[in-house]
Structure 1
């Protein structure tokens, strides 16, 4: 029996996340635009599939008017999404933020968590799956080119939802913050929570 795209993606996902299929639920859906991970009470991953609307193929907010010429980019983006989500399934432990997030602006707090965990995921993929990570970087560059081109043409119907919004880094030593994130221990969360506080209150003060 011939493997489907979902079968291949399923295998890649669990190879990277190093978890059993009984531990995580993963769904491939045409009805969503962007990947989504629900960490609690059980990790559940929702991955968008390319879909056709008005004879255009849409994936992750980008409209491809010609599937044949754009299919390599479309499926490369799909591959990158699977790898990134699997990296989070391997690395991210949302429980360590559970107490920290209470009483805070939820949107802002999640933005901080995603920023921190993205750094850890990228480091994990770069070290454990360097070939995949190199391809993901190439895909990211392609994404930037497509978005820049669409902005110039002013005809985008969708805007790529960034996994992490930009922070106000002018007053922060971002390289040092990244280093501290990567040096933080999974056994103790004190250092990570200090970084989360720094990012959260820096952004809050900027907006106040």
Structure 2
């Protein structure tokens, strides 16, 4: 992980002056000093354009903005999202500490090179695990949805043909094999046709 996209929060005049005095505490300065390639963006369009070449997204923003920016940018590409917790972003985030913010790690200006390296490493690992969990959740939701259609179709077949659930399941399975379709597709067709017929009564 070498190319890091850093999104900074818009600064007031006084913050700009204090940043000039403490430039060595900025994410760009620190990360470049440790050998990382830093792509800096302070507006949405630039950040969206730079996402394709970034290995990680570092948001130097208050936590409420982290959630909004992170959600939008991570739709483009799945990469680790880390929060740069400086004195200014920490003080602006007090009201949002209980919010569900999708960060994979936290970086601070006081971290040394090795600490930063390991924080990025574990952030990357956390991102991968979160993505895997989301994929598994999506698959489970899909299976539940399929089960719902199959159960509805079984109920309809039981009612119309006056058969047991096991027999209705066999009818669905055989029909799916005959049509060379998935059982859920056959079940969905049965339910939809039944609903159309019921609406016409």
Same fold (TM over 0.5): no
Which TM-score applies when normalising by structure 2?
A: 0.29
Q: Which has the higher contact order (CA 8 A, sep 6+)?
A: 1
Higher helix share: 2
Which structure would you say has the larger Rg? Answer: 2
